[in-house]
Amino acid sequence: MSDSLFRLPDVGEGLTEAEIVSWRVAAGDTIEVNQVIVEIETAKSLVELPSPFEGVVGELMVSEGMTVEVGTPIIRVTGSGASTGVGAGAGASPQQVVAEVTPVVSAEPAVSAEPAAPAEPEESAGAVLVGYGIKGHVTSRRRPRSASAPTAGTPASRAVAAPAAAAAAPSAPTPAATGAAPVATRPVGHSSPAVTGLPVIAKPPIRKLAKDLDVNLNEVTPTGLIGDITRDDVIRHASQAKVFHNIETPQWADEREERIPVKGVRKQIAKAMVSSAFTAPHVGLFVDVDASRTMEFVKRLKDSADFVGVRVSPLLILAKAIIWAVRRNPMVNSAWTDTEIIVRNYVNLGIAAATPRGLLVPNVKEAQSMTLRELAIALENLTLTAREGRTSPADMANGTITITNIGVFGMDTGTPILNPGEVAIVALGTIKQKPWVVDGEVRPRFVTTLGASFDHRVVDGDVASRFLADVAAIVEEPALLLD
């Protein structure tokens, strides 16, 4: 029997501190290797930390809401032992802990020097550090679970389907994990649990997403292979505009003032915006665009067999338009330094995403090499990851140009602040019918306003104007993308 201390690891890009958001275990709980024990918030994202030890929780050394530095002991585990391939003892450094734990639990990081290890199915849904989605099968590197039942109500109580059983026949998670009836009795993709009377089958990340989006899972129609509710099901049930609109007017709070500590993601946002606003001289341009043909094109894509199951929106066309316009006006895809201007001949396309935890700007890597369908899938994955708070520092690093879609909130246009390290950002306003002159006649057309900000140290007025005109030309006539 021995005691081991788990120290707060550096979960990415040299971050020096993190806030303890919520503990998933309590003193006296029995835990296993790779079981999620705590949720932390860094300056970049929300992260779930898995345990490198198995044993009994002796003490939670840091309270929820506290911000601690990397390397600080946060939990003591009694009678602990590490699984083969993890081996993080009491004296392990934060770098050793994260180096040994991350390969076991992380799911497809956005940028990696080597191919990522395949992620695990059901269990890894609660154990991923960062990234989007769960792919692949259980690998041989995974330590087999013991025969003893885990403590009820803890994350370890979720069952893991064996690969052999999964290959032999479709099966549902065990009743201990979800309380669900056998899969054979559940109609898939036809009726919601509220109609069928069957329990909800949804992984923990999906349940958290539904909570953030204020979605009642009992009202969601499942389309998963085992009758489970997927991310797409939740998103379809609640549009982004609905999530962030003020749906109701609350009563005044009893307290005269509320004081919110500036930390985590909000602190990082403030630092980045002040740096950008007072470093880069911003210049703004605006143009009204007839987007009727874009709306028709989006409708045709939705009806196309090639885009079945893929989310298509005008944002996709704007993204493709920006990539095309960047190729014609490469200076808008640059970076300014004190000694040189770096013109980047690739596009890491950033998407400003409003999330329950604040503004995040993840980017699609190498977007210039993607087909329209690949870009649509990448944008959807990026957005879902951001909404779940699982965007990794790597996902937000090395952006070259950004889109902000304020149209989902009903806004016509705006003057966005540049993402630090970039020299251009484009805002897509709402698309709605307005009177528009066509061939000398006033007709109802779908009209939007494109706004853009540029760093005037790099981008001159003529370059900025040509770039925005090129983007507008594609929104007016998407067929130009075939050129």
For 270, phi then psi, to 5°, come to -60, -45
Q: What is the DSSP string of 169-232?
A: S--PPPHHHH-PPPGGGSPTTSS-HHHH-PPP---HHHHHHHHHTT--GGGSPP-STTSPPPHH
Is 286 in the same domain as 188? Answer: no
Low-confidence ranges of the chain (pLDDT < 50): 82-189, 240-241, 243
327 and 421, same structural domain? Answer: yes
Specify if 260 maps to a domain. Answer: no
Q: Do 70 and 31 reside in the same domain of the chain?
A: yes
- Long-range contacts from 233-237, C-beta under 8 angstroms, 24+ separation: 234/206, 234/209, 234/210, 235/311, 235/384, 237/213
**What pLDDT score does 81 carry?**
55
Query: Residue 12 and residue 88: Cα distance in Å, rounded?
Result: 18
In the listed set 168, 201, 229, which residue is the last one of a domain according to the structure? 168
The confidence score (pLDDT) of residue 199 equals 82
Same domain? For 472 and 420 the reply is yes
Q: Return the pLDDT at 286.
A: 97
Q: Is residue 161 located within the same domain as residue 191?
A: no
CA distance readout (Å), 450 to 23, 67, 285, 321, 382? 44, 41, 8, 12, 22
My answer on whether 231 and 337 are in the same domain is no
**49 belongs to a structural domain:** yes
Residue 470 is assigned to a structural domain of this protein: yes
Strands, E assignment, 239-329? 282-290
Whether residue 194 is contained in a domain is answered as: yes
Q: Are residues 296 and 371 in the same domain?
A: yes
pLDDT value of position 216: 83
Together in a domain, 88 and 111: yes
pLDDT for 14 equals: 62
Partners of residue 5 on adjacent β-strands: 76
**202 and 305 within one domain:** no
Residue 159: which CATH number? Answer: 2.40.50.100
pLDDT of 65: 83
Q: Is residue 250 part of a domain?
A: no
Name the catalytic one among 137, 190, 245, 456: 456
My answer on whether 307 and 366 are in the same domain is yes
- Count of helix runs (H) and strand runs (E) in the chain: 13, 18
The last residue of one of the domains, among 143, 168, 193, is 168
Last residue of a domain, one of 168, 186, 221: 168
As for how many domains the chain has, the answer is 3
- Output the pLDDT for position 107: 33
Shared domain check, 204 and 164:
no
| Residue 253 belongs to a domain | no
Q: What is the pTM of this model?
A: 0.60
Same domain, 157 and 295: no
The answer to whether residue 237 is catalytic is: no
Q: Which domain holds residue 444?
A: 265-482
Indicate whether 257 belongs to any domain.
no
